[in-house]
Amino acid sequence: MNKHLTTVAGVAVDTRHWIGGERVASTDTFPDASPIDGSVLADIARGTATEADAAVAAAKAAFPGWAATSRVERARILHAIADGVEKRIEELAIVETTDNGALLRSHRRGVMPRVAHNFRFFADWLLKLEHGDFETRGHSNHVSWDPAGPCVLITPWNAPLMLATWKVAPALAAGNTVVLKPAEWSPLTASLLADIAAEAGLPAGVLNVVQGYGSEIGDALTSHPDVRRISFTGSVPTARRIAASAAANLTPLSLELGGKSPLLVFADADLDLAVDLAVEQYDNAGQVCLAATRFLVEESVAEEFTRRFVDRTMGLRQGDPRDEATDIGPNIHPGQLEKIDGFVRRALAAGARAVIGGHPEDGQYYAPTLLTDVAQDSEIVQEEVFGPVLTLQTFTDEEEAIRLANDTRFGLAATLATGDPERAERVTARLVAGTVWVNCFFVRDLQAPFGGSRLSGVGREGGTWSFDFYCDVKNTVTAPNGWTNHG
Query: Annotated catalytic residue: which of 96, 289, 298, 471?
Result: 289
Helix axes 89-100, 71-87, angle to 10 degrees: 70
Our answer to whether residue 289 is catalytic in this structure is yes
Sheet containing 413-417, strands listed edge to edge, beginning at the edge strand earlier in sequence: 353-356, 369-372, 389-395, 294-298, 262-265, 413-417, 435-438
- Listed residue (267, 269, 271) closest to 299, CA to CA: 267
Our answer to whether residue 151 is catalytic in this structure is no
Query: Annotated catalytic residue: which of 96, 184, 256, 384?
Result: 256
CB-based contacts of 454: which residues, under 8 Å, 6+ apart? 408, 409, 410, 411, 432
Name the residue type at position 307. R
Q: Rounded CA gap, 22 and 198, in Å?
A: 10
- Listed residue (86, 83, 66) closest to 126, CA to CA: 66
Q: Rounded CA gap, 196 and 194, in Å?
A: 5
Coil/strand/helix, residue 209: strand
Return phi, psi of residue 417, to 5°.
Answer: -115, 115
Q: Rounded CA gap, 257 and 239, in Å?
A: 8
Name the residue type at position 400. E
Taken in order 11, 14, 20, 22, the sign of the CA dihedral is negative
Query: Which residues carry out catalysis?
Result: 256, 289
